[in-house]
Structure 1
Amino acid sequence: MATAVRLRQLGHTVKLIDIDPQWRVYGAGITVTAPTFRAFRRLGLFDRIVEHGACVIGHELFHYSGAPIHRFDDPELEPGLPAAGGIMRPVLHKIMSSEVRRLGVDVVLGVGAERIVNQPDRVEVTFTDGTTQSFDLAVAADGIYSKTRSMLFANAVTPTPNGQGSWRIVAKRPEGFTRTQFYVGHENLVGINAVSRDEVYLFILNPDPDRKWIEPAEQPAMVRALLADFGGAVAAIRDSVSQSSSIVYRPLEAALQPAPWHSGRVVLIGDAAHATTPHLASGAGSAVEDAMVLGEELERSGSDVPSALAAFTARRYERCRIVVESSLAIGAHQLARGPAARLGELMGAASHALAADY
């Protein structure tokens, strides 16, 4: 959707297809980092995200017992940009999909790409409804299990598990909550981030080498067990978890497609090219940055689409590699129960790299 918005802003005619006829979104809350806020501001959606989401002024680090360790006041990345924040995924989806439609994007739902054929001056796409259409450019944002990646790239990667699971639980926002909270020292890493004036989501990253399926009816008890040793605000949220709680669970995987990310006039973006684990909260932000850079390179290259796509990968690969590989390193460090100081170094180095402009 970010790419559709940006290309329409630049005057291009855009068709957006989504295989889901209801165009639904799954998940709980999403963390928005300062670099992601920067990308959303340049896309023109910042004010609406701030209005319907939440902003924080920094971070707090706690021992899992609830004892405070350190408080961080994060510097401004740009004037007026929050240090971090969050928003519910369905709310973000509504903001972005409304903008897509407002800008006149041709949205076709319940349709996928069945066949993609590159020609010297166009790309032909045959859709699952049997129709075929030609385009100057096809952008594949079809996720970590991208069919386009498998269809067009002989060296297509497959997602690799990192040995952890991710839980997200939506809860009432604690009184006086102004900073994202992290709880360390336990095999389960826990954090709390605001997603609205009234709500937070708590996340748990726990060892899960077997990638076990947890029945929804069993999930509240599992969450309470994973949080049994925790104090502070975590304890209050744990004790409020019930069968009616909003809980989302998934095993973690990552996939970094080698360069180039384009084949002829088809380009992979977002999770199709660089799916990451959530340790740096930069998956969605990287996708929005992709949209902005792709627009810039298309403007610079004019009608030479393959050159624009080559320049796009050249600008994006290293930054996205840092996100994916640093996130995996942080996860491996957590699984090894390494010292908290080293964890801080890994996160700090990656955050410093992402603070640089894309």
Structure 2
Amino acid sequence: MPAVRNVLVVGGGAAGAAAAILLAEGGVTVDLVDLKPDVAALGSGITLQGNALRVLRELGVWKKVEAEGYAFDTLGLRAPDPAGTLIAELTDIRTGGADLPATLGMYRPALARILIGRAAEAGARIRFGTRPAGLTLDGEVTFSDGGKQRYDLVIGADGLHSWTRRQVGVDVEPEPVGMGIWRTFTRRPPSVTRTDLYYGGPAYIAGYCPTGPDSIYAYLVEDAQDRSRLSPAEAMATMRELAGAYHGPWDEIRESLTDPARVNYTVFESHLIDGPWHRGNVVLIGDAAHSCPPTLAQGAAQALEDASVLAELLLREDARTEDLWREFTGRRLDRARTVVEASLQLARWQLAHERGDVPGLMARVAHLVAEPA
């Protein structure tokens, strides 16, 4: 018998949906709530490394993800010169195993739709536009619609600024990294068949990732600024101006920036709960427990790994003992810490305009995550 009979998952992102799928398939009664009216309504693109694809295969959604995304095995480095000169083409490590691609880009709302659909198919009861209004450490939840229920376990997968984390008294909050990122989702030039990164010029990084046969998301990383006062048209014009320093495929990408609704700006933040992620009958996973700048593109992968390991332990054991929680912490904390610290080191090197051992650092993390969590 599993260690839990009924579970509430707070948050319908990658971590929450993955936990709901695995637990529901294991015979656990699962409720999933999310404040948003539609979890797949917002977002641009997402880069999924091989270790994320490994979990998506475990969830039974890999074929759908493969069909909607764009897979590739190399990374290009280009110069911020008038030709966008290709400096190097690097073969990525297939961290999910030899039978999965190294990397896959896809439209983030499409991934959300696939995962939520799979959770519903597995038997999870899903309610959008609903959130907890009260929570106790013994798992009693009061909902925003006035309902109340006690759960064996509450899984807080409600993101970077997690309500659940604050409710259970964890006083760790994300802190700014010092960088901001412009993102857009637009049509794919035929020349874009993988991620290329440009270092230098007015942005720390100018890059793009194919997300499907006809689409990409492109991004520019700059010093963090308050861009909130810009109108959508001004935001688009600002991104176009910053992109003007980059050429090669960027020339076509820049010309396609005509829809202000497809442009967004966020600042990088990071945090890590450096200790057990559970309090009583509540556990935090994904961005609720740890976050980092996307310099290694490991955010979604680490969230999916959290869900996979947690579900494995809850379905394997017949009670929620301290041994179960020690194993969960032992398998997840150091791995997440390594990814967070490496992602921050890459950002610090860029902010200081320092030439660090970027290939060596990236290779060390890739070899780490190539081993299953």
Q: Which amino acid aligns with 2:173?
A: T
Give the CA RMSD over aligned residues: 1.7
1:277–1:25 distance in 2 versus 1, CA, 3 Å: farther
TM score, norm. by length of structure 2: 0.89
Match for residue 173 of structure 2? 158
1:231 aligns with 2:250: no
Quote the Cα distance in structure 2 between the aligned partners of 1:72 and 1:129: 52
Q: How many residue pairs were aligned?
A: 352
1:289–1:219 distance in 2 versus 1, CA, 3 Å: same
Match for residue 85 of structure 1? 104
Cα deviations across residues 103-133 of structure 1 (Å, max 9, x unaligned)? 12111222211222233xxx21111222211
Match for residue 121 of structure 2? 102
Cα deviations across residues 168-223 of structure 1 (Å, max 9, x unaligned)? 11222222433221111334101111100111111111112x43323312111111
1:125–1:101 distance in 2 versus 1, CA, 3 Å: same
Quote the Cα distance in structure 1 between the aligned partners of 2:255 and 2:202: 20
TM score, norm. by length of structure 1: 0.93
Match for residue 336 of structure 1? 352
Q: Which amino acid aligns with 1:89?
A: R
Match for residue 2 of structure 1? 18
Quote the Cα distance in structure 1 between the aligned partners of 2:274 and 2:39: 30
SS of the equivalent of 2:357 reads helix
Quote the Cα distance in structure 1 between the aligned partners of 2:213 and 2:142: 45
Out of 110, 133, 136, the residue aligned to residue 114 of structure 1 is 133
Quote the Cα distance in structure 2 between the aligned partners of 1:19 and 1:250: 20
Out of 296, 303, 308, the residue aligned to residue 287 of structure 1 is 303
Structure 1 alignment gaps of length 5 or more: none
Mapped contact 2:140–2:150 kept (Cα < 8 A): yes
Match for residue 356 of structure 1? 371
Mapped contact 2:79–2:86 kept (Cα < 8 A): yes
Match for residue 29 of structure 1? 45
Q: Which amino acid aligns with 1:264?
A: G
1:147 aligns with 2:147: no
Residues 215-226 of structure 1: matches in 2 within 5 Å?
215-226=231-242
SS of the equivalent of 1:280 reads coil
Quote the Cα distance in structure 2 between the aligned partners of 1:336 and 1:25: 37
1:309 aligns with 2:328: no
Match for residue 210 of structure 2? 194
Match for residue 12 of structure 2? none
1:324–1:176 distance in 2 versus 1, CA, 3 Å: same
Runs of 4+ in 1 over 4 A off after TM superposition: none
Quote the Cα distance in structure 2 between the aligned partners of 1:328 and 1:218: 30
Residues 14-25 of structure 1: matches in 2 within 5 Å?
14-25=30-41
Deviation at residue 351 of structure 1 after TM alignment:
2.4
Match for residue 148 of structure 2? 132
Q: Which amino acid aligns with 1:181?
A: D
Deviation at residue 161 of structure 1 after TM alignment:
0.4
Cα deviations across residues 84-115 of structure 1 (Å, max 9, x unaligned)? 11110111111111111111211122221122
1:215–1:347 distance in 2 versus 1, CA, 3 Å: farther
SS of the equivalent of 1:170 reads strand
Quote the Cα distance in structure 1 between the aligned partners of 2:188 and 2:37: 33
Deviation at residue 142 of structure 1 after TM alignment:
1.0
1:57–1:282 distance in 2 versus 1, CA, 3 Å: same
Mapped contact 2:73–2:94 kept (Cα < 8 A): no
Q: Which amino acid aligns with 1:160?
A: E
Cα deviations across residues 214-271 of structure 1 (Å, max 9, x unaligned)? 3312111111121121111112211321245611211111121121100011000010
SS of the equivalent of 2:295 reads helix
Residues 8-87 of structure 1: matches in 2 within 5 Å?
8-65=24-81, 66-77=84-95, 78-87=97-106
SS of the equivalent of 2:244 reads coil
Quote the Cα distance in structure 1 between the aligned partners of 2:232 and 2:329: 40
Structure 2 alignment gaps of length 5 or more: 1-16
1:24–1:174 distance in 2 versus 1, CA, 3 Å: closer
Quote the Cα distance in structure 2 between the aligned partners of 1:311 and 1:187: 45
SS of the equivalent of 1:278 reads coil
Identical-pair percentage: 35
1:185 aligns with 2:200: yes
Does 24-33 or 285-294 show the bigger shift? 24-33
Quote the Cα distance in structure 1 between the aligned partners of 2:215 and 2:187: 5
Mapped contact 1:294–1:308 kept (Cα < 8 A): no
Deviation at residue 149 of structure 1 after TM alignment:
1.0
Mapped contact 1:164–1:251 kept (Cα < 8 A): yes
Mapped contact 1:262–1:310 kept (Cα < 8 A): no
1:172 aligns with 2:187: yes
